Amino acid sequence: MLRSAGPSRRAAADELLFRKGEIGHSMFVIETGEVRIEFGDGMPHKLLGPREYFGELALFIGNHARVASAIAHTACSLRVVDYPAFDYLMENEPALLAQFMRRSFAYLVASEQQLIGSLKRRNEDLLVTLNSLRQTQSELSTANRLVRTDELTGLTNRRGLYQFLEEIAPQRAPGTQLGLLLIDLDNFKHINDQCGHLVGDEVLRAVAEEVARVAASGDMACRIGGDEFALLARVDNAADLEARAEHIVLGVRALRVPLMGRDVNVTVSIGGGLCADDAVWSSWYSLADEALYRAKGNGSNTWHISQG
């Protein structure tokens, strides 16, 4: 009945019958020879022989884009079933048409299940990759934080301070007050010599806590090195900066360190000043260091804020 349902077509080996993506208007039944169906995207080819058919979705669905390319694998003879031939089969060979449809729908279901399985595997792979990226990001963040953190006190170290300066430089707006305090322990060498370095480390940690206690959100408390600390703070004016210095001095003064059966006071001297918007770190540091020198000259255990 197919012979009366559509015209015959011969194709030479490697001849393209239709291309993937083009709109189909007919299906094909192989009478002799073989046809190769190429899906692309890394999917394996499919080889069809005599009495097999392909391209039927163009008739069952209408205006259907071809999901694969069809190429004559060998010289072959084909029966072309177009829309008029399809209507003829519906009227005269419904059983044959039903066979086509069962096979086509089974293929669609199998393809859909294969696609779902493939998407599920890809989704699982993406989740694994995403988790790996998150873990890597977390590890990098932790490593970056450790590189910028003083191991003994937990404050930011000098490297972290310089990174902070780079980040705030373009954000400093006119009128923003940034103040710098340099905090230096008084007679720290004496504590280390008399009590040992373990006690000295405890003193450094305690002083670091006092410095961090007066740091507000957006401020930078750091250990520059040895027994020297720094606080970069956003303040309203010089009086605000002086109040920060006073809180640190009083807090440290209240600390006690056991030394040879008696408590020894720990004190610090602080120098500071407001940071000019048009200046750089070295200028800020020089201004605060000069103020620190004056505080030391005034007997230590005190503070001095330079007026610039």
Backbone CA torsion sign across 203, 206, 211, 212: positive
| Sign of the dihedral through C-alpha 117, 121, 127, 130 | negative
Position 124, amino acid: E
Q: Which positions are annotated as active-site residues?
A: 227
Q: 């373990």: which residue's tokens?
A: 198
- Give the C-alpha separation, 230 to 251, whole Å: 16
- Extended strands (E) in the chain: 8-11, 16-18, 26-32, 35-38, 46-48, 53-54, 69-72, 76-82, 178-185, 220-225, 228-234, 256-259, 262-265, 268-275, 303-306
Closest CA to 38 of 8, 12, 7, 14: 14
